[in-house]
Structure 1
């Protein structure tokens, strides 16, 4: 730990002090500084005297407690109590630095490592300085009450996240636990479900899990009657798609009707082949250059919640449409950069993969995308014009990879019969950048 003192992170539930194991209690009794939300700090008993401290309280600057004159500890927490300010994250480094050298304990709801403060602390001071004492998480309590298998449930956090993030998790028959941000979250979720064709979904709000005021509210999204609930809650969703709502699968190749577009859309079957060539993996970043409707970036991000994408689009109107499509399809984190490529690529974070869906003939575009890729990065480019096809053929000769032509035909009425109508064939070059010799 490079000589720096450890920081204890203690999970606590709605049952407060009574629900803590003795190991967590010892940490909180011994702490000189207690950091947490006001409601968490209020769950602790009033001050006592930590073992080894003088009974007059001079070791911590707290008023004299009712401990005996011999300094014998009792079941209290005498440390200085400091409530987190808002916003929290920017304040963390300064608060920790101000109390360096003192025994610090940070309170967290449930399991501090599950959508909790432990991640922020690890990013600030390093994981090796943390001593985490977990408590059962709210989702563990919820599954215990509902009889759901924890490993079969998807969890979506709406704490400091847009409501649109829920859309990607909605599938018929799925069970979802939603971590709410405040008393109005259940009503907001119900309204979102009604508006997007999931009004038949059953919603249960589990309040104050594990505490003496535990309560369950139960209704469908279509009939949700509660405008506000307890702030400390988890939502449990049994997903039901309303009749006529467009079915969106988990694999790339969503129906074209899922997107708002002006014709600049990588069509469904070509899109599925393109995503297969891009081969997204968790945590990776895609540049979607010439974003159009944003479909490649959207479906890249839908493959895993940790996937990231930046869509680069020169048309402000199309850029705004990309943002709307990303929200509708559950990936509101998709970043949109408005401007012409390659100039708009300057300063963007290094991509793991690049897709070029338009503008291949722009001077310097292919070179800029190729140069931005690290070794092992993938580039996929699609075109329907002879001029751009010639560019891809030249790059194929220079760098290798795979050059394919994708042709899709659909059945259409021909008089009283049925015939094939072929879409414009798409030439696709895909390549993985190798280590420099």
Structure 2
């Protein structure tokens, strides 16, 4: 069995005094200690060589690998495996070579200060990520804990809430949690004006006004205007077939792809998508809480973004595009092809005859201005599990 040589130690506001006995022993025995400028100076009895935290992350991994076998300690903030470097390290270094020493996380401290059950709260990081990432979690009564860096984050989140009808939401900015200099600032989103610390945890208790944006599942057709979306019931059926799930990547290519990609990213936490679409697609996606959507121009570009997608949506595909996408899907990967006209529908029927899978014809009826019902053009779906 491989002996761990890399100890990743979480540190809180209490500094080295807050470490467990085991973590302190590993720090004293270390030959090399790597950490950022925020971390405390090492006491004289620790003779390890001190290395700064390189940037970008690839440089840090290279620096860590260069010290393999030398009893290296990496100092990080809080819990290394909760919105910290732990998960990325495990993708670069075998897990049996690493030992983790967690500290109480900012989420745990924040939940305690707010008297919220952590199991019933949405926790996410908008540190070095667009604040719009939080939009998909806005809902009446929802409680959010957001890790953030930068005093501009609370007013940005307050604006996003207010613009969507959540102006009465309560915001609490918590700084230096667990330390002697801990701070707390309370306020209301629609009137937020307080100065904030640079490193903070933001607690949000969502309160909706009449007319607030309330969307679950497929986005409204109006919100997706300009993306040529299929009617919401057809998009909901497409999402059900594609099966969005946490961290999964989607390729969406062809007519209607942008709308499906946005709904995919809104439907599952950390879901990702590479999609074709108009120039303003990223702006529309950000407004709807999918700011990390990737707009691409072709299947080739989608492959560069996500070489092995979990699912593929194809609008009116030809045979060459279909074969290209099927080769990229892993076993159990899902494909949903859509046709909105007779010629494209005939192609899907032929593809299903060769490949199997299931065909569905979807129509939507809506009240007509003069009474009765008006039926939208039929949409054909072909769904296949590889």
Local SS of the residue matching 1:178 = strand
Residue 373 of structure 2 is matched in structure 1 by 420
Residue 187 of structure 1 is matched in structure 2 by 155
The Cα shift of 1:370 comes to 3.2
Change (3 A) 1:234 1:392: same
1:136 corresponds to which of 104, 109, 133: 104
Verify: 1:368 aligned to 2:324, yes or no. Answer: yes
Contact kept? 1:112, 1:132, Cα under 8 Å: yes
Contact kept? 1:282, 1:305, Cα under 8 Å: yes
Contact kept? 1:154, 1:169, Cα under 8 Å: yes
The Cα shift of 1:282 comes to 2.9
Please say which structure displays the higher CA radius of gyration. 1
Local SS of the residue matching 1:431 = strand
Contact kept? 1:354, 1:369, Cα under 8 Å: yes
Residue 27 of structure 2 is matched in structure 1 by 28
2:198 corresponds to which of 231, 252, 259: 231
The Cα shift of 1:144 comes to 1.1
Partners in 2 of 1:7 and 1:118 — Cα distance?
12
Partners in 2 of 1:224 and 1:180 — Cα distance?
17
Verify: 1:405 aligned to 2:361, yes or no. Answer: yes
Contact kept? 1:41, 1:81, Cα under 8 Å: no
Partners in 2 of 1:151 and 1:369 — Cα distance?
39
Q: For 1:309-328, what aligned pairs fall within 5 Å after superposition?
A: 309-313=273-277, 318=278, 320-328=279-287
TM-score, length of structure 1 as denominator length: 0.82
Partners in 2 of 1:380 and 1:270 — Cα distance?
12
Residue 335 of structure 1 is matched in structure 2 by 294
Q: For 1:244-393, what aligned pairs fall within 5 Å after superposition?
A: 244-249=211-216, 251=217, 253-261=218-226, 264-290=228-254, 292=256, 294-313=258-277, 318=278, 320-339=279-298, 349-358=307-316, 360=317, 362=318, 364-393=320-349
For residues 351-370 of structure 1, the C-alpha deviation after alignment (integer angstroms, 9 at most, x for no partner) is: 22221124x3x462333333
Partners in 1 of 2:257 and 2:359 — Cα distance?
24
RMSD: 2.2
Local SS of the residue matching 2:368 = strand
Q: For 1:40-51, what aligned pairs fall within 5 Å after superposition?
A: 40-42=39-41, 44=42, 46-48=43-45
Structure 1 unaligned blocks of 5 or more: 49-76
For residues 366-418 of structure 1, the C-alpha deviation after alignment (integer angstroms, 9 at most, x for no partner) is: 3333343333222212212111111111122222221121111111332xxx3
Change (3 A) 1:365 1:121: closer
The Cα shift of 1:2 comes to 5.4
Verify: 1:126 aligned to 2:85, yes or no. Answer: no
Change (3 A) 1:122 1:277: closer
Equivalenced residue count is 385
Partners in 1 of 2:86 and 2:243 — Cα distance?
32
The Cα shift of 1:291 comes to 5.0
For residues 309-350 of structure 1, the C-alpha deviation after alignment (integer angstroms, 9 at most, x for no partner) is: 21124xxxx1x22212221111222211124xx666665613
Structure 2 unaligned blocks of 5 or more: none
Contact kept? 1:260, 1:321, Cα under 8 Å: no
For residues 233-280 of structure 1, the C-alpha deviation after alignment (integer angstroms, 9 at most, x for no partner) is: 21100012333232112x2x2221222316x11211111111112222
Residue 79 of structure 1 is matched in structure 2 by 48
Local SS of the residue matching 2:344 = helix
For residues 278-316 of structure 1, the C-alpha deviation after alignment (integer angstroms, 9 at most, x for no partner) is: 222333322111154611111112221232221124xxx
Partners in 2 of 1:188 and 1:401 — Cα distance?
46
Contact kept? 1:309, 1:334, Cα under 8 Å: yes
Partners in 2 of 1:281 and 1:254 — Cα distance?
17
Contact kept? 1:281, 1:307, Cα under 8 Å: yes
